[in-house]
Amino acid sequence: MMGFQPVVLWTDLLLFGLLGCIVLAAWSARRSEPMRAAWGRVGASGVGMTSLTLLLIFVLVGLVDSLHYRERLEPAGAEAAEARKAQLSTEVRSALDALAEPLRTRVEKTYSAPLAWQLFSKQTVEGKDGTQHREFPRLKYGGAGLQYPEQDLAGDVTGRIAIGLAAAAGGWLVLAGVVVALVARSRRVPFGAGWRAVWRGKGGLAWRAMLLTLAGVLLLVGPITALATEYHVFGTDKVGQDVLFLTLKSIRTALVIGTLTTLVTLPLAVALGIVAGYLGGWVDDVIQYVYTVLNSIPGVLLIAAAVLMMQVVIDTHPEWFETAAERADARLLALCLILGMTSWTGLCRLLRGETLKLRELEYVQAARAFGVSTTRILARHVLPNLMHLVLIALVMDFSGLVLAEAVLSYVGIGVDPNTISFGTMINAARMELAREPMVWWSLVAAFIFMFVLVLAANLFADVVRDAFDPRAS
């Protein structure tokens, strides 16, 4: 029986470390009344809970895809008696690969349309009598269970959609029951009263918006899951890979780019922006000069030069990487660092301008007159009044970074070609759009997933801004 060995990539370590920091920050925020009040306003917002629910679903998929492992290969024959340790496969897989094993392994010959049972283009096929003719060959996996596909396709698809909808409805009822039970227990009321409180928006949080969002998601996921067991729901690409599987794999790349880049952006922007605005003088001049010079260089050229230099380092040191996944992960991490080093200037300028106003306020002047140290003033009086700007900028930057990865991968200077991302999917789809008939489903699938992710992040950013702005009424 084959086992496996866990593999921890650098991006996995940083991603789970960042998640741990968020959990600790949330736990510590419970002790602060202003923080509880601000997050309470976020939770009471229907838009906030809707967007947060969608973001948490994307995060869940990304975290599952970040649990990597390598299978152990058991030696055969005479080697089995001598081998003390099974060799490891060179392929690094994730928990998402294991859960979506049918999607990953059911590879067709080439393009096929969504829910199709035959290839998208005609091919030369040799008949039983030795003659050759062109036809649409039947898929190896898609619709393989249909005996008469032309007659049975519509009925089979309809039946599977009905099964998926029924499963989605049952799952939603279970989730709704759990939520209502928790609300009823916290309010110490009967189950029926808890349900009325949830539906009328009196459960503390906007549970109704969350449940309606989950209902919509489940009504989509249920039929898609039921159909995916037999068909390629979003079709296949040029090499026959399932497009649904590729879009799910792209979520982790988007999350890594959007979150880990902030580990570089945040310290630089916050520290330099506050120091420049508060101290002024030659310190302000130097910091302004630095980010002005960076802004004067075209961002794409600067990123392209840095990525190519990093790629040369990776290519000249193949001994650093045991597998192709580690090599691709190194380039992904390098891209995060490069984007972070080139995207901190906007937030730094914003914080500098806000600090220039804050340092002239009465309570800051009073603290300075009483001899309070500069470090304490920045930490106790300036930084808390800038956190709403930091939060909104980070969430907005998340959307921009996801889109930036798509653009950079489109022009060939983004992630490693072996890394699945929205950008590489769009890059591969650009030539497919020139075909006749046009192959549209790869581009549409990547666009829909990326659009929902970016839209949810932007809506959540607006809610966080309104909740944390100390000047909001």
Nearest-angstrom CA–CA distance, 81 and 175: 51
Q: What is the pLDDT of residue 86?
A: 56
CB-based contact 449:251 (threshold 8 Å): yes
What's at 57, amino acid-wise? I
Q: Could you tell me whether strands 123-126 and 87-94 are parallel, antiparallel, or unpaired per DSSP bridges?
A: unpaired
Nearest-angstrom CA–CA distance, 71 and 7: 10
Q: What is the pLDDT of residue 80?
A: 52
Closest CA to 41 of 463, 473, 470: 463
Q: Could you tell me whether strands 68-73 and 4-7 are parallel, antiparallel, or unpaired per DSSP bridges?
A: antiparallel
CB-based contact 119:136 (threshold 8 Å): yes
CB-based contact 173:180 (threshold 8 Å): no
Closest CA to 277 of 385, 379, 349, 356: 356
Both tokens of 1, joined, read 């029986």
Q: What is the pLDDT of residue 74?
A: 67
274 Cα distance to chain centroid? 30
Nearest-angstrom CA–CA distance, 244 and 91: 21
The Cβ of residue 177 has, within 10 Å, a number of other Cβ atoms equal to 12
Please list, in sequence order, all residues whose beta carbon lies within 8 angstroms of the beta carbon of residue 164, skipping any fewer than 6 positions away.
Answer: 221, 222, 223, 224, 225, 226, 227
Nearest-angstrom CA–CA distance, 366 and 362: 6
* Beta pairing partners, 88: 72
CB-based contact 183:198 (threshold 8 Å): yes
DSSP classification of residue 159: H
Q: Could you tell me whether strands 68-73 and 87-94 are parallel, antiparallel, or unpaired per DSSP bridges?
A: antiparallel
Q: What is the pLDDT of residue 84?
A: 44
Nearest-angstrom CA–CA distance, 132 and 163: 41
The pLDDT tens digits along the chain (473 residues) read 457 788 888 888 988 988 888 888 778 777 777 778 888 888 888 888 999 999 999 999 999 999 998 887 766 554 554 454 457 777 888 999 989 888 888 888 888 889 888 888 777 777 676 677 777 788 888 888 888 888 888 888 999 999 999 999 999 999 988 888 888 887 788 878 878 888 877 767 888 889 999 999 999 999 999 999 889 999 898 888 999 999 999 999 999 998 888 888 888 899 999 999 888 888 889 988 888 888 888 777 888 888 888 888 888 888 888 888 888 888 888 888 888 888 888 888 889 988 988 888 888 888 888 888 888 888 888 888 887 788 778 777 888 888 888 888 877 778 888 888 888 888 888 777 777 778 888 889 999 998 999 899 888 888 887 887 655 54
Given the structure tokens 């050229």, which residue do they identify? Answer: 301
Nearest-angstrom CA–CA distance, 169 and 6: 36
Q: CA 179 → CA 39, 334, 460, distances in Å? A: 19, 42, 22
Q: What is the pLDDT of residue 473?
A: 46
